[in-house]
């Protein structure tokens, strides 16, 4: 399964740091976008997320998109690794 993972977060966010460590430990490629940058902040706001990290998982095979707010290891395993 081919998935594109985008993380909206900040270097000051403890849960964002934990997420990055988890993704790297599991060998998962992702793009990190810093919500402190104005252009990224505008993009982030289009998702109406209540917090960071915001993980967007696009499945290219099923053409679906899943949004996960916060670092939830179990949800991430089910969405990415499964």
Mean of the per-residue pLDDT values of the chain: 95
Q: Kindly tell me the number of DSSP H helices and DSSP E strands found in the chain.
A: 3, 4
What confidence score (pLDDT) does residue 82 get? Answer: 67
Q: Where are the alpha helices (DSSP H) in the chain?
A: 14-25, 38-45, 73-76
Query: What pTM value is reported for the model?
Result: 0.92
Upper half-sphere CA count for residue 79 (Cβ side, 13 Å): 20
d(CA 10, CA 16): 7
The answer to whether the beta carbons of residues 67 and 47 sit under 8 Å apart is yes
Whether the predicted pLDDT of 7 surpasses 90: yes
pLDDT at 63: 94
What's the whole-number mean pLDDT along residues 42-51?
Answer: 94
Rounded to an integer, the average pLDDT of 27-47 is 96
Domain 3-81: CATH superfamily is Glutaredoxin (3.40.30.10)
Look at residue 81 in the predicted model and tell me its pLDDT: 81
User: Within 10 A of 34 (CB to CB), how many other CB atoms are there?
Assistant: 16
Please say if the pLDDT value at position 1 is more than 90: no
**What is the spatial distance between Cα 1 and Cα 76, in angstroms, rounded to a whole number?**
15
pLDDT of 79 higher than 70: yes
């Amino acid at each position: 399964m081919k998935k594109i993972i985008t993380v909206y977060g900040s270097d000051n966010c403890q849960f964002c740091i934990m997420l990055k460590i988890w993704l790297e430990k599991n060998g998962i490629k992702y793009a990190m976008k810093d919500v402190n940058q104005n252009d990224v902040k505008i993009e982030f706001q289009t998702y109406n997320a209540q917090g960071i990290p915001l993980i967007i998982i696009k499945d290219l095979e099923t053409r679906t998109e899943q949004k996960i707010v916060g670092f939830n290891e179990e949800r991430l395993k089910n969405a990415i690794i499964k």
